[in-house]
Structure formats: C-alpha cells, structure tokens
Amino acid sequence: MKKILLLLAILCSLTAFAQMPKLKPELLKGYDVKINDLSTSMLEYDGGYKDFYADEATLTTYKKGSKSTTDPNALKGRTFKVADITSSTGYMATYYKFKLEGNGETVYYKYQKGYNAPFTPLNFTLPADYYCDYIVKGMFDETIISYTVEEKYVFAISKYKFVDGSSVVYNLSLQTGKDGEGTGGRGVTLELENNKKIQKDALVEKNAKGPTPIYNTEFVLTEAELELLKANKIKSFTLFKTQAVMFDDSANTLQKVIPCLITIK
C-alpha cells in the first residue's frame, strides 16, 4: 500500500512541473532548459534523476548516484542548451533523445512522448494551436462524431456532434485515487480560479478492486459551465466526499483544449 501511495505522490510531483510540449518535444530544439529540483517522494523512490546518460548510445548513466539513477547534485538547478533532438519508435511509444550542452559537457536525455520531463523550458512559448493536437476524433456510433482529449487517471473531456448537425453535447469525466474508507454517492463540486464553482448532481462511482480505491464521475456540461471552464482553471474537485487537487499541468491542458473543441468542425 505504501508503494502505491508513493507512486501516486510521484505522479503528482511530475504534473506539478512546468508545461512542456509533450506532444511535440522537438519544438525545444535550440532553447535552454533548467533542471528542476526533485521532490522528496521522487528522491525516496528513484534516488536521483532518471534517463540521463553520458553517452549518445544511452547505455551509461550520467554520474550515477547510490541507485541506478543520476546523482541529484550533479544536475539540479543546471541550465542546458538543447543542441539536438532525434526520435525513434518503440513498442506502442515514440521516444526522443535530447542532446544537452552546458558548461563544456554533453549530456543525453531519453524522453517518452506524452510525458513530463524534469526540466523547465526557458523563454519558450507554445504555438497558439498546440493544444488542438490533443484532440482525438472518433465515431461514438454511426450518427455521432466524437472529439476527445484525455489525460489518464485525471480527466477526459469530449464533444459529441450529431452527423446531421442537429445537436452538440460536451461531456466531462473526472477520476482520482485515494486510500481510505470513502464511498460513492451523488454530488460533484469543481473549485475554479477567481472563486468560481461548478456543482453537479452527478453519480460518483467507487472502484475498490485494486489496492487504492478509484473514484470517477461523468456528466454533461452546459454552455455556461463550458465558458466558466474556458476562463478559469480547475483548482480542486470533490467527488461526493472524496477531495482531490488538480495540478496545474492538468488544469492548464483542460482549459486550453476547450477553445479547440468548441471550434473544431
């Protein structure tokens, strides 16, 4: 159980890192990045920075510490120039190799597309249409087209459009894991920026099959609620009696994809 909770803490720490172009990491070529400090939970679990290498073949861990990871003191707070980025395709994933240069050293970082990285891009701005690339188009059935953005274990927001153009429906689902004796029930509250709030009489289900119970809900958004979410990021939410914080990276993605969902045809 302790290991499960520690993994959840690490996930939260990762999502707290500054936004980076997870779908298009090649955009960082030529920019500087600053290595973030590791959280206490990540230090406890990994012992240092993962996936940094001293060689281009990515076989030798850069300045290995007490575990198989890089000594945190060798990287934290340092700034590197992204000299080059190359990509390769593995089993159901795309990987990128960053060539980082700084203080006369070259360090290589291996990154999996779609995840966060332990560094902050400096003086970098995402393209205006970047978040539209998160949208996955599908068919709900032969009469309804679906447009969905999902961040696993956190949220999924969808636009359902009838093929005949008669109606459009927006749907939001939320999920969180929390140890303890919580229960399912009815009632969802979203706490937003600027003291805004959304409350829904939605069903909250509890899945207790795993070691950590998972709570999830799903509900339709009104036009007014959609506008609220477009203007104000979610800070936290309560699924019946289970409270959860939405970390800034996830909240930012959810907010930024809404204009794309609204305008997509």
Please write the tens of the pLDDT for every residue from 34-84.
999 998 888 888 999 999 999 999 999 999 998 899 999 999 999 999 999
Asked if the structure places residue 4 within a domain, the reply is: no
Domain C-terminal end among 74, 98, 122: 122
Please report the pLDDT score of residue 187 as a whole number.
97
**27 and 82: one domain?**
yes
**231 and 137: one domain?**
yes
8 Å CB contact between 64 and 26: no
Please report the pLDDT score of residue 16 as a whole number.
40
| SS3 label, residue 164 | coil
Tell me which residue of 222, 221, 223, 187 sits closest to 205, measured CA to CA: 187
pLDDT beyond 60 at 9:
no
Please report the pLDDT score of residue 15 as a whole number.
40
Please report the pLDDT score of residue 85 as a whole number.
98
User: Following CA atoms 161, 215, 16, 69 in sequence, which dihedral angle do they give, to the nearest 10 degrees?
Assistant: -120
CATH of the domain at 196: 2.60.40
Which residues on adjacent β-strands are paired with residue 19? none
Domain C-terminal end among 122, 149, 168: 122
28 pLDDT tier (thresholds 50, 70, 90): very high
Please report the pLDDT score of residue 66 as a whole number.
84
Residue that has been written with the tokens 């060798």 in this structure: 74
**177 and 107: one domain?**
no
What does pTM read for this prediction? 0.77
Please report the pLDDT score of residue 248 as a whole number.
87
13 pLDDT tier (thresholds 50, 70, 90): very low
Domain count for the chain: 2
Name, in order, each residue with C-beta under 8 angstroms of 171's C-beta and a sequence gap of 6 or more: 157, 158, 159, 160, 218, 219, 220, 221
**172 and 197: one domain?**
yes
Please report the pLDDT score of residue 226 as a whole number.
98
Asked if the structure places residue 5 within a domain, the reply is: no
Please write the tens of the pLDDT for every residue from 77-135.
999 999 999 999 988 899 999 999 999 999 999 999 988 899 999 999 999 899 999 99
165 pLDDT tier (thresholds 50, 70, 90): confident
Neighbours of 181 (CB within 10 A): 6
**85 and 152: one domain?**
no
**88 and 134: one domain?**
no
Which residues on adjacent β-strands are paired with residue 215? 176, 206
**147 and 232: one domain?**
yes
Asked if the structure places residue 12 within a domain, the reply is: no
**141 and 93: one domain?**
no
What's the CA angle centered on 93, arms 246 and 67, to 5 degrees? Answer: 75
Please report the pLDDT score of residue 181 as a whole number.
73
Asked if the structure places residue 115 within a domain, the reply is: yes
Asked if the structure places residue 2 within a domain, the reply is: no
**118 and 198: one domain?**
no
Residue 110 corresponds to which tokens in the numbers above?
């291996």
User: Following CA atoms 235, 238, 239, 242 in sequence, which dihedral angle do they give, to the nearest 10 degrees?
Assistant: 120
pLDDT beyond 70 at 217:
yes
**136 and 73: one domain?**
no
Asked if the structure places residue 3 within a domain, the reply is: no
Who has greater pLDDT, 196 or 92? 196
**112 and 139: one domain?**
no
- The range of the structural domain enclosing residue 56 comes to 22-122
**149 and 185: one domain?**
yes
Asked if the structure places residue 16 within a domain, the reply is: no
Asked if the structure places residue 66 within a domain, the reply is: yes
User: Following CA atoms 255, 259, 262, 265 in sequence, which dihedral angle do they give, to the nearest 10 degrees?
Assistant: -130
8 Å CB contact between 248 and 258: no
Q: What average pLDDT is seen over the chain?
A: 90
pLDDT beyond 80 at 18:
no
**Total length of the chain:** 265
pLDDT beyond 60 at 250:
yes
Neighbours of 230 (CB within 10 A): 16
Mean pLDDT over 220-231 rounds to 97
Domain C-terminal end among 69, 89, 122: 122
